[in-house]
Amino acid sequence: MSNSTDTQQKPISKLWYKNYMVWIFVIGIPVFVVIACIWFIFYSVQIKDSTVRDDWYMDGKTLYADVSKDKLAHDLKLSGEMTINQQNVSFVLHPSQSPDFKIPDTLNVQISHATQIQKDRDFVIKRQANSPQITYTGQVQLDDGKGKYYIIVHNPDNNWRLQTTHELPSNQAVKFAPLTSFDDKK
């Protein structure tokens, strides 16, 4: 006598390469992860971070900001006011009565966007001889979109600097004042 279970055949299972779960979870996800890793490695090597545009230096593992230029501007009691209209820049320098201060013929201006290096501008402004105030003028082409900018004005020898943060383009004058952190605390 033969058993009825012996005569029945067991169902044939699907072959592994015909199973969609194998293609998605065993092959698909690891291949996607490998491709994503290769793309991120390529991206991190090709796209470099922009450098910091300020006076920072590293001593061992510690970063320090060089504030000697800001301190000299404070000690000389320098201040100023800049207006930017279209492409024209006008800067009025208010110097102190210190005999150590020599009025330069040109000033260097650095306008740095907070996040996008391609919007940074460096240019020179020249002193106007026929002006009653100490006035410097120059030209610059700024981006039309509003954004936060760091503005630095310094002499050609780079001994002192005035700096501020302002949203450009703007119809308001940009005011520069020495840092108050150097004021004597009594």
Return the H-helix or E-strand segment holding 74. helix 68-75
The mean per-residue pLDDT over the stretch 38-67 comes to: 75
pLDDT digits (tens, 9 = 90+) for 117-145: 888 999 999 999 877 788 999 999 988 88
Is 106 inside any structural domain? yes
- The pLDDT, as a whole number, for residue 168 is 86
- The pLDDT, as a whole number, for residue 103 is 87
What does the block give as tokens for 126?
């020249």
Q: Put residue 32 in one of left, alpha, beta given phi > 0 → left and psi -120 to 50 → alpha.
A: alpha
Q: How far is residue 184's CA from residue 22's CA, in Å, rounded to a whole number?
A: 73
Is 141 inside any structural domain? yes
Is 40 inside any structural domain? no
Q: CB burial class (10 A; 0-12, 13-18, 19+) of residue 45? A: exposed
Is 142 inside any structural domain? yes
- The pLDDT, as a whole number, for residue 34 is 96
Q: Considering its fold, how many domains does the chain have in total?
A: 1
Higher pLDDT, 179 or 159: 159
Is 7 inside any structural domain? no
Is 48 inside any structural domain? no
**DSSP-derived 3-state class of residue 5:** helix
Higher pLDDT, 87 or 6: 87
pTM above 0.75, yes or no: no
- The pLDDT, as a whole number, for residue 40 is 92
Higher pLDDT, 31 or 9: 31
What does the block give as tokens for 109?
């201006």
- The pLDDT, as a whole number, for residue 127 is 93
- The pLDDT, as a whole number, for residue 51 is 63
- The pLDDT, as a whole number, for residue 79 is 92
Q: Residue 138: which CATH number?
A: 2.60.40
Q: How far is residue 135's CA from residue 125's CA, in Å, rounded to a whole number?
A: 9
- The pLDDT, as a whole number, for residue 66 is 79
Where in the sequence is the domain holding 130, given as residue range(s)? 71-182
Is 174 inside any structural domain? yes
Is 19 inside any structural domain? no
Residue 57 has pLDDT above 70, yes or no: no
At 6, is the pLDDT very low, low, confident or very high (cuts 50, 70, 90)? low
pLDDT digits (tens, 9 = 90+) for 145-159: 888 999 999 999 888
